[in-house]
Structure 1
Amino acid sequence: MKHLNFIDLFSGAGGLSEGFIKAGFKPIAHVEIDKKACDTLETRLVYHKLISENKTEKYYDYISEKITREEFIKNFGDSALSDSVINIPIGEDNNRIIFEKIDKLACGKQIDIIVGGPPCQAYSLVGRSRDKNRMKNDPRNFLYKEYAKFLKKYQPKVFVFENVMGLITAENGSYFKNMQAYFKRIGYELDYTIQKSEHFGVLQRRRRIILIGWQKGLGFQYPKFDQLNEEFTISQILSDLEKLNPGDQKNVTNYIKPTTKYLEKFELRNGVSFVTQHIARPHNERDLKIYKIAINKWLKKSERLKYPDLPTELKTHKNEKSFVDRYKVVDINGLSHTMVAHIAKDGHHYIYPDTKQVRSISVREAARIQSFPDDFYFEGGRSAAFRQIGNAVPPLMAFSIAKSIKEQLC
C-alpha cells in the first residue's frame, strides 16, 4: 500500500501530526513559527524514525536524561529529517522559500493531504473581548488565504482545517463565509462540523470546528467519526503520578500505581516504565491560599470561586466585574475545561483538585488532558511546554480524523 503524504501547516508541537502518523500517513514537512515547538517536532520525528529502526531505547535514553539532546540529534537524527521542520513564518514574504524547501523534500512525490489551522487568537471570543478593535485589524484573520496558497501549489486530494468556535461568529460570520467561498473558488468542495473532543476520548470539554475540503470529482464525502461510548474521568489520569509540591520538578520519575483503564485503552502510558516532565510551577503564598479556597469550594459544593467572593486581604484590584472566574479547579470526577495556551502564563485556571496538593497542574498532567502519550517530550522548558500543549490539537482527536479520511483515500 502506498504511503499517503501530508504537510502540516501552523504545526505547533505536532498534535495533528501525531494522530496522522499513527494512522499511517507520512509527513513531508512541518511549517511552524515557534522555534521551541520546532525542536519538539524534530525530537518526535526522530522518535518515529527510531521506531522504524527498532531502536526506541535510544529515544528513551534521551528523555530519561542519559544523553544530551545534542548527542541524540547528532547520533540518531539526520539532515533530511531536520530540514523537514521549517521554522519560517507562513506569509507572502516567506512562502516562496517555504515552497522551495518543501519541493526539495517531496522530490516529486504527491502531497495527498494538507492539515493545520492558523493561530486562533484573532477568532477566539477571549481574543476579541480583550482587543478594543475586536481583532478586526489583526492580520491573522486572513492567514487562511496563505493556507490556500499551499492548496493551489500542491493540489492535495484533501485538506483539514481545524479552528476555534469563534471563527463562526467573527465579524458576524463574514470571515468564515469568505473563507469557505475562497476555498471553493480554488477547486475544493467542503463541509464542516463542530466536534466535541470528549467524543474521541479526550478528557476535556473542547469544541472545535473541523473543516475538511476535497478536490471536486474525487468522490469523497465528509467522514463520520467514531464516537466513544464509554465515560472516563480526570481521576483516571492523575492517580498513577507522583505527588507534587509547588515548584517540584520531576523531570524523570516512576509511576506510583498501576495503569488505569483509560491510560491502557488509549495507550497514554504506551509501555514506558517511567514518566517525564511531571513539573509543577511555583506559587506565592497568596495564590496558594486562593487555590485552597477554590479547591474546597469545588470539592465540597461543586461551586466555582468568583473573584468577588475572595476575602478582602486576598484581593489585589477593585475590578470585580471582568474575568471574575480566573481561578478554576480541574474537575476530578468529570472532564477538564478547555486547555488553552494561557496556562503558560499562570496556573490559576487549572488548579489541581486536591487539598493535599495545593498547586496548579503539572506539564505531564496537562499533556494527558490533551491526550498526548507519556513518551511525547516537549522541548524548551516548562513555560514553552505549557504553551505548546495548550495550543495543540489533541492527538486522539487527530487520529480519529486521520483514520476516517484514510478509509476513503485508500
Structure 2
Amino acid sequence: MAEKNNNLDLYYKFLNQEITKIQLLSYVPQEVLHRSINAEINDETIQTILNKFDVLLGKEQVRGVIGGPPCQAFSTIGRAQNAHKKATDGRIYLYRYYIDFLERYSPDFFVFENVKGLLSFKDADGEPLLAKIIKEFNEAGYSLGYRIENTKNYGVPQSRERIIIFGVPLGHESLIESFFQLWNHFKNPKLVLKKH
C-alpha cells in the first residue's frame, strides 16, 4: 500500500501513463472497490444496478448525486459524425437513468455535468433536448439551474466549456443561486499537474 501522501503521486503517474489503471486500482483499499459499481447503465442493467446500490447503501440516505451521461452525442463533433444515427442513439436519453436515481433515492441535490453542446442539441424530433431534460427533472420533483464553466478556471489542465446543472427538490430553489455563488470561490486555483 502506498503511503498516504504518495497517493496523489500515483494518480499523476496514471495521468502521465506511467502506470495502468489496473496498477492504480491495486493501491485502492478492497473495501472501497467492493463499494463501487462499474457497469454500463441500460434498460437491461438498471434494475440490477439499483438493487446493488440499495445493498451498498444499506440504511444510509443519499445526500447528493453527481455525474452526467456520456457527452459524445451532444458534442458538436459527435453530433456532426453521428447525425444519421440520432433517431437510434440511446446515449441521447441516458439522462433518464439519472432521473431514476433521483426518484428512487430523493437526494437533497444533484450536480449534472456535460458538454456545452447540450445547450443547442436537438433530439430526433427536432426539439431542444435541454428543455425536455428540464421538464423531466421538474416532473421528478426537482428544480434546476445551469451555467457554462470552463474547466481551465478550476485547475484542470485543459480548456473545455461544460454545462453545470445544479438541482434541488422543488420548493428549495433559493439553494440554486447559493450553489453557484459558492462555486465562484473555487475559480482559478493554484493547482498544476506535477511533471515527472
TM bucket normalised to smaller: 0.7 to 0.9
The alignment status of 1:121 with 2:88, answered yes or no, reads no
Partner of 2:100: 149
Select which of 226, 231, 239 maps to 2:184: 226
Q: Give 1:129 shift.
A: 1.0
1:213-252 aligned at under 5 Å gives the runs 213-218=167-172, 219-222=174-177, 223-224=180-181, 225-226=183-184
**Contact 1:201-1:228 within 8 A present in 2 as well:** no
Q: Which residue of structure 2 aligns with residue 158 of structure 1?
A: 109
Equivalent AA in structure 2 for residue 152 of structure 1:
E
Taking structure 1 as reference, are residues 175 and 77 closer, same or farther at Cα in structure 2, changes over 3 Å only? Answer: same
In the TM superposition, what whole-angstrom CA distance separates every residue of 1:240-287 from its partner, at most 9, and x where no partner exists? Answer: xxxxxxxxxxxxxxxxxxxxxx8xx32644xxxx83xxxxxxxxxxxx
1:85 is paired with a residue of what secondary structure? coil
Is 1:184–2:135 an aligned residue pair? Answer: no
CA contact (8 A) 1:118 1:144 kept: yes
Kept in 2: contact 1:200–1:227 (CA 8 A)? no
Aligned to 1:221, the other structure's residue is in SS state: helix
How well do the aligned residues superpose, as a CA RMSD in angstroms? 3.2
Q: Over residues 295-323 of structure 1, what are the superposed CA-to-partner deviations in whole Å (9 max), with x where a residue is unaligned? A: xxxxxxxxxxxxxxxxxxxxxxxxxxxxx
Corresponding residue SS for 1:170: coil
Structure 1 segments unaligned to the other structure (5+ residues): 1-45, 231-261, 276-410
**Partners in 1 of 2:159 and 2:6 — Cα distance?**
36
Q: Does 1:130 align with 2:78?
A: no
Whole-Å separation in 2 of the counterparts to 1:182 and 1:203: 34
- Aligned-partner Cα distance in 2 for 1:186–1:221: 17
Give the one of 177, 191, 195 matched to 1:266.
Answer: 191
Query: Separation in 2 of the partners of 1:77 and 1:203?
Result: 28
AA paired with 2:67? Answer: G
What are the Cα deviations for residues 46-93 of structure 1, in whole angstroms up to 9, with x where unaligned?
A: 8xxx7xxxx42685699698xx949945xx722x31122212111221
Q: Secondary structure at the match of 1:220?
A: helix
Query: Which residue of structure 2 lines up, in the alignment, with residue 105 of structure 1?
Result: 56
Paired letter, 1:266: L
Query: Does the 8 Å CA contact 1:128/1:134 hold for their aligned counterparts?
Result: no
8 Å contact kept, 1:189–1:214: yes
Q: SS state of the match for residue 39, structure 2?
A: coil
- SS state at 2:94 partner: helix
1:127 and 1:135 in contact (8 A); partners too: no
Structure with greater Cα Rg: 1
Given candidates 49, 53, 77, the residue that maps to 2:29 is 77
1:56 aligns to what? Answer: 4
- Aligned residue pair count: 181
Q: Is 1:139 aligned with 2:61?
A: no
Q: Which residue of 1 aligns with 2:166?
A: 212
Q: Assess, with a 3 A threshold, how the Cα gap between structure 1 residues 93 and 56 changes in structure 2: closer, same or farther.
A: same
Q: Could you tell me how far apart the structure 2 residues matched to 1:72 and 1:132 are?
A: 41
Higher relative contact order (CA closer than 8 Å, sequence separation 6+)? 1
Q: Distance in 2 between matches of 1:57 and 1:197?
A: 25
Cα drift, residue 124 of structure 1: 1.2
- 1:210 alignment partner AA: I
CA contact (8 A) 2:113 2:165 kept: yes
Q: Go from structure 1 to structure 2 and tell me whether the alpha carbon gap of 1:93 and 1:206 turns closer, same or farther (over 3 Å shift).
A: same
